[in-house]
Structure 1
Amino acid sequence: MVSAGLVLLVVLALTFDFTNGFHDAANAIASAVSTKALSLRGALLLAGVMNLLGALAGTGVAVTVAKGVIATPSAADGLTVIIAAVIGAITWNLITWYFGLPSSSSHALIGGLVGAALASATTVQWQGVLTKVLLPMVISPAVGLLLGYFLMTAMLWLLKSADAHKANRGMRRAQIFSSASLAFGHGLQDAQKSMGIIVLGLVITGHQTDFSVPFWVILSCALALALGTSAGGLRIMRTLGRRIFPLTPPHGFAAEVSGASVLYFTAFVFAAPISTTHVITSAIMGVGATRRRSAVRWAVAGNIVTAWVLTLPAAATVAALVYSLTRLF
């Protein structure tokens, strides 16, 4: 029999996926829209479809979230722990969306899990948090920045003798494919976090004994993320597309290819839940630095990094407070 708590968990997990979609829609389409490679409506539709397809492409990250961050909570209050974690993540998503800061939905969810686990005396698997969350959190943006810088440097060398107008027109067309690949990577990474949460709930309530992901979970999370992406995220899009660095079509293409490459590699090779936000933002910084270091608005970048650093502890704190409040009733 399906409990009301499990139903609430599924609803909250899908709500998180929806907020993840409109919060992170800018990741995939900001550069394509800012360079006029795609219209806003066309970009949102493309991102939504590719998010859906990406979410159907794998479950390795979902399994990592389900069993690699915290030990399976006790049946007595396990659902309360997970529900508090998701509420913490949703709260931080909404706060950073309101202020237009491209923070990490992925790390908000991980932070929520850790905070709720600590408040409930559930074991945190610190080794898994270190190797699957903290190290990738540091390494993946660095790789995105360097890859963006070197790819843009190579493109500048290849295009140095090309007609600027023709090159920009060709790059705008290429950006349709690069932004689609980035949206696919976003779906591949971010939809799986909510899948892992629902699977953990199913294990806690005894509806399954392993951490395999049922197809209905995959499909529902994919649809929620795609719908959220289609709703858009204009506040964050302005930050990524204009405020960090004024992108041109070649810059946008290089950033998107760099970001997508990191997302695919970490999802398929390491099953690590990295942040699409961190990767694409760093890639934009990297391509911008090829013009000159002062071309990147480092003050804006500093505000973004501050949001990155605060995400884990902030979401953890909210989740711990939510769990503690439930103990009063």
Structure 2
Amino acid sequence: MDSVCYHNFGNKKNGGAAMSIALVVTITLVMGVVFVNGWTDAPNAIATAVSTRVLKPNVAIWMAVAMNFLGALVMTYFNSQVAETISNIVTFEGAGNAAQVALAASLFAIVVWAVAAWYFGIPTSESHALIAGLTGSAMAMGGLEAVSGAEWTKVIVGLIVSTMMGFGGGWLVTKLITIIFQDVSRRIANHVFTIGQAISAAMNAFLHGAQDGQKFMGVFMLGLFYNNLAEKTGNGFVIPLWVMVLCSLTMGLGTSVGGMKIIKSVGMDMVKLERYQGFAADLSAAICLFLASVFGVPVSTTHTKTTAIMGAGAARRASSVDWSIVKEMISAWLLTFPGCGAIAFVMTKFFVAIF
């Protein structure tokens, strides 16, 4: 189990002086990104449960608030490998005070990208935006040498594996359910899948917090590190309990704002699911997210859940999926890395020049 430590800020190299303006801005932006993630990304976890009418929107959202908070807090306490991967994916070392400015620029770019995606109702991945933003800013400061190829390999592996497991799992579980429950009355089956989907939706919300909460905790620790308020070991940071609680609460607050645009796009417009298909999609996504969290692979919860929904829909018949909406989503995912990365690159150059 990862230990939890508390840092005595007064004994750091800055002699207990007030935090720099750049650090305050960075922490504010991290909290902004975490809030936006809970607002725009977390609804994916409960989209299918709402669309199949297993849960009412308000009930689902408040369940997601609680489970996001618990996932970010509990999973990070026991296993913070995802946060370590994110904190090691780039380096601004040697850049002096400009490191804080560059980190702030990357976060600002992420907020801009995420809010634009929410406005148009497109479930673009906050995880991909975070990685793209950090990478763009790091390259603006130190070129390709500032990017860790080993950690980026985990991102690519996670992207491929989550696609295969999401779509394949949704398809396979749906087929298995069709075979197993073929002689069970519809009333009994619906009762089983109502309970099952409520539980699996809660699992998805918990694991969304575990995955995405940790990613932003890793960035939070980078902000502290570049102001000499955190120490980095060979395996990354030891995340203090107060950071876990702060990020978890902020994500939960963002989720409480709601996200019916995303719920509608993912759970209602893309494919019309029956309850057994919703359960299949939620279960396969939860399994994929759990394994990724345990092995420290940063995957997109949006990507995983959406492909699982596609697989569950396609298992019944391919025509049940609105592939035009799928095409829009895939286009948004493909644009996130170069688009958000380019915004972060330009903003970093601009911010460093004026600050």
Partner Cα distance (1:126, 1:328) in 2: 25
Contact 1:69–1:110, Cα closer than 8 Å, also in 2: no
How far apart are residue 213 of structure 1 and its match?
1.1
The answer for the alignment partner of 1:225 in structure 2 is 251
- Judged with a 3 Å threshold, the aligned counterparts in structure 2 of structure 1 residues 4 and 327 are, in CA distance, closer, same or farther, namely closer
Contact 1:26–1:240, Cα closer than 8 Å, also in 2: no
Letter in 1 for 2:107: V
1:216 counterpart = 2:242: yes
Q: CA RMSD in A?
A: 1.3
Partner Cα distance (1:272, 1:92) in 2: 23
How far apart are residue 126 of structure 1 and its match?
4.1
1:83 counterpart = 2:101: no
Which moved further from structure 2: 19-28 or 128-137?
128-137
The answer for the alignment partner of 2:172 in structure 1 is 150
Task: Please show how residues 7-46 of structure 1 align to structure 2 within 5 Å.
Answer: 7-46=24-63
Partner Cα distance (2:91, 2:324) in 1: 36
Query: Which of 116, 126, 129 lines up with 1:105 in the alignment?
Result: 126
Partner Cα distance (1:125, 1:115) in 2: 9
- Judged with a 3 Å threshold, the aligned counterparts in structure 2 of structure 1 residues 73 and 308 are, in CA distance, closer, same or farther, namely farther
1:241-300 CA deviation, whole Å, 9 max, x = no partner?
Answer: 11111011111111011111111101112x121100000000000011111111111111
Partner Cα distance (1:225, 1:232) in 2: 12
Partner Cα distance (2:352, 2:189) in 1: 62
How far apart are residue 127 of structure 1 and its match?
1.4
For the residue of structure 1 that corresponds to 2:204, the secondary structure is: helix
Letter in 1 for 2:308: A
TM-score, structure 1 as length reference: 0.96
The answer for the alignment partner of 2:336 in structure 1 is 311
Partner Cα distance (2:35, 2:230) in 1: 25
The answer for the alignment partner of 1:296 in structure 2 is 321
The answer for the alignment partner of 2:11 in structure 1 is none
Percent identical pairs in the alignment equals 36
How far apart are residue 328 of structure 1 and its match?
3.5
Partner Cα distance (1:217, 1:229) in 2: 18
Letter in 1 for 2:310: M
Partner Cα distance (2:94, 2:279) in 1: 44
How far apart are residue 166 of structure 1 and its match?
2.5
Partner Cα distance (2:245, 2:37) in 1: 16
How far apart are residue 26 of structure 1 and its match?
2.1
For the residue of structure 2 that corresponds to 1:290, the secondary structure is: helix
The answer for the alignment partner of 2:85 in structure 1 is 64
1:81-139 CA deviation, whole Å, 9 max, x = no partner?
Answer: 11111111111111111111111101101100111111122633341343121221122
TM-score, structure 2 as length reference: 0.89
Which moved further from structure 2: 123-132 or 292-301?
123-132
The answer for the alignment partner of 2:6 in structure 1 is none
Letter in 2 for 1:180: A
Query: Which of 222, 227, 233 lines up with 1:200 in the alignment?
Result: 222
Partner Cα distance (2:350, 2:260) in 1: 34
1:127 counterpart = 2:149: yes
Instruction: Note the residue ranges of structure 2 that are not aligned, 5 or more in a row.
Output: 1-16
Which moved further from structure 2: 41-50 or 131-140?
131-140
Partner Cα distance (1:92, 1:13) in 2: 14
The answer for the alignment partner of 2:13 in structure 1 is none
Contact 2:34–2:213, Cα closer than 8 Å, also in 1: yes
How far apart are residue 71 of structure 1 and its match?
5.1
1:203-225 CA deviation, whole Å, 9 max, x = no partner?
Answer: 11111221221111111111111
Contact 1:116–1:320, Cα closer than 8 Å, also in 2: yes
1:220-242 CA deviation, whole Å, 9 max, x = no partner?
Answer: 11111111112111111111111
The answer for the alignment partner of 2:20 in structure 1 is 3
- Judged with a 3 Å threshold, the aligned counterparts in structure 2 of structure 1 residues 72 and 327 are, in CA distance, closer, same or farther, namely closer
1:285-316 CA deviation, whole Å, 9 max, x = no partner?
Answer: 00111111111111111110010101111111
For the residue of structure 2 that corresponds to 1:327, the secondary structure is: helix
The answer for the alignment partner of 2:285 in structure 1 is 259
Structure of higher CA gyration radius: 2
1:94 counterpart = 2:111: no
Contact 2:92–2:141, Cα closer than 8 Å, also in 1: no
The answer for the alignment partner of 1:181 in structure 2 is 203
Contact 1:72–1:200, Cα closer than 8 Å, also in 2: no
How far apart are residue 68 of structure 1 and its match?
2.7
Partner Cα distance (2:94, 2:178) in 1: 53
Which moved further from structure 2: 35-44 or 67-76?
67-76
For the residue of structure 2 that corresponds to 1:274, the secondary structure is: coil
Partner Cα distance (1:68, 1:166) in 2: 49
How far apart are residue 73 of structure 1 and its match?
5.5
Letter in 1 for 2:316: R
How far apart are residue 42 of structure 1 and its match?
0.6
Partner Cα distance (1:177, 1:37) in 2: 10
Aligned length: 328
Query: Which of 305, 321, 331 lines up with 1:280 in the alignment?
Result: 305
Contact 1:71–1:125, Cα closer than 8 Å, also in 2: no
